Amino acid sequence: MLHLNSSRSISDPSDPDAQLTANNGEYLVNISLGTPPFPIVAIADTGSDIIWTQCKPCTDCYKQDAPLFDPKSSSSYRTVSCSSNVIGCGHDNAGTFSPKGSGIVGLGGGPASLVSQLGSSIGGKFSYCMVPYAAAKPTSTMNFGTNAVVSGNGVLSTPLISDPSQPTFYFLQLEAVSVGSKKIAFQGSSIGGSGNIIIDSGTTLTLVPTDFFSQLSDAVETQVTGGTKTSDPEGFFSLCYDKVVCLAFYANDQLSIYGNVAQQNFLIGYDLPKQTLSFKPTDCTNT
C-alpha cells in the first residue's frame, strides 16, 4: 500500500498532495509504504517509472540516513511478478544517491509509474514547483488531480509529445533559447518523433548538443558583465564566474534533457489527457 501525504492511500487518493524537498541536485518526495504506513523519502523522477525503496535484508545497499523498510513488518506486502505494476523492494542497489533519500518515485508515462497507478482518480494531472537549492525554505508541494491544474496570469503551455516506443519519457519540442536579444535555434536530438528534448525532474542539469552548448555559452558570456570568469574547481563546468556560479548546462550529443535547475521557480503542470505541459513563473517557496 502506498500513501501520499501520510493519511491518503493510493486506493483512495482524493486529490492527494506530497511534500517536495530540495536536496543538493535532486528533489525528494515524502510518501509512506505498507501497512501500517512506513515513511520514506525518495527522488521525484519524471524520467523513470518504477516506485522503489531500499528494503531489508540488503545484500548491497547505498548508505541512507533513515531506517530501511522491512517487508516483514507490513501486512500488505506481497511477492509478485516483475511484470506487475507494484512498488518494488531493492535489496542490491547501486548508483549515485544521497543518504537523505531511500529510493525513487517514478512519475513517468509508463504503466508502473505513480501517475499511471493513480489512474483516472487524478484525471492524469499532477504539478510541482521546485524551490532553488539555496532557498531558506527548501520545501514546496506536489499536487495531483484537480489541485494540479495550472491557471491564471502568466501561464504558458506547450504540447507533450508521446512516443509509443519510449512511453516513460515526456517529450517536448524546444524551438530556441534567447539570451538577451540573441535567439539561438535548437535542433536537439532525433528522439520522440517530433520531440527533441525530454523534461526530467530527476536530472539536475540541462543537457544539450555540443554545437548548441557552444553557442549558448558564448551568448551568456557576452551578456554577463561585472563578473570575473573563473574555473570550476571540480573541472566539470566550462563557464563559471567569481564565487563559482556556473552555467547549469552540459554538452551531450546522445539525449537532450530539460533538467530541474532550469525548472526552478516555475509551477509546472502536466495534463496527460490533454497532452499539455503548463508553466507559470512562481516563487516556489510560497507554495
So which residues are the catalytic ones?
45, 200
DSSP 122: G
Beta-bridge partners for 127: 143, 269
Strands 139-144 and 17-23: antiparallel
Helix boundaries (H) for the chain:
114-118, 210-223
One-character DSSP codes across 53-75? EEBSSPSB----SSPPB-GGG-T
Beta-bridge partners for 195: none
Q: Which residue has the cell 506536489?
A: 142
Q: What type of residue sits at position 268?
A: I
Beta-bridge partners for 31: 4, 40
CA distance 217 to 118: 41
Q: Which residue has the cell 491557471?
A: 151
Angle at 23 between CA 174 and CA 104, to 5 degrees: 75
Question: Are the beta carbons of 127 and 268 closer than 8 angstroms?
Answer: yes
CA distance 29 to 200: 15
The x, y and z cell numbers of residue 253, run together, are 550529443
Burial class (CB in 10 A: 0-12, 13-18, 19+), 18: buried
